[in-house]
Amino acid sequence: MTDIVDPATRHRMMSGIRGKNTKIEVLVRKGLFARGFRYRINDKKLPGKPDIVLSKYKAVIFTHGCFWHGHDCHLFKWPSTRPEWWRNKINGNRKRDNQVRMLLENAGWRQCHVWECALKGKYRLDINNIIDELVQWLLSNCTMLEIRGKTE
């Protein structure tokens, strides 16, 4: 399927996508703040500049967009235009994600990955349930957590 907009419009649309303060990130931050958790955002001292850093709990939270990180869910579909470029881009993001995971793990940081499909789309979860799960994880000594949308 070819693109439905001209290249200039597509360029403008894509350049408007930002990596900080995304809707899912802000929802998670507000939920944690309302429950009394305090955090830093995008700490440049840590590998991958995690979206949310809770130093007291030695924990970081990443909020990943399903498209940009090639998540195996209903929100991700390989683009049909410039397929080789997109495969390199998305596979590069996946490779970087794995490297960041290993660096943080070796440094003793606990990690949570909240996927966009958990908060968006037809298989989304309730935000209060997601925050409950995050709080439970933060208060535990579990090292990893992944929150994704419901399975079909």
Q: Tell me if residue 51 is catalytic.
A: yes
Residue 86's closest CA among 63, 74, 65, 70? Answer: 70
Q: Tell me if residue 64 is catalytic.
A: no
61 and 114 Cβ atoms separated by less than 8 Å:
yes
Residue 28 DSSP SS3: helix
Catalytic residue among 22, 43, 74, 97: 97
Catalytic residue among 43, 69, 74, 143: 69
What are the DSSP calls for 77-131, one per residue? ---SSSHHHHHHHHHHHHHHHHHHHHHHHHTT-EEEEEEGGGTSSTTPPPHHHHH
Catalytic residue among 63, 64, 71, 113: 63
100-112 burial, b at 16+ Cβ within 10 Å, e below that, comes to bbeebeeeebbbb
**Helices and strands, number each (H, E), in the chain:** 4, 5
Q: Tell me if residue 97 is catalytic.
A: yes
The residues carrying an active-site annotation are: 51, 63, 69, 97
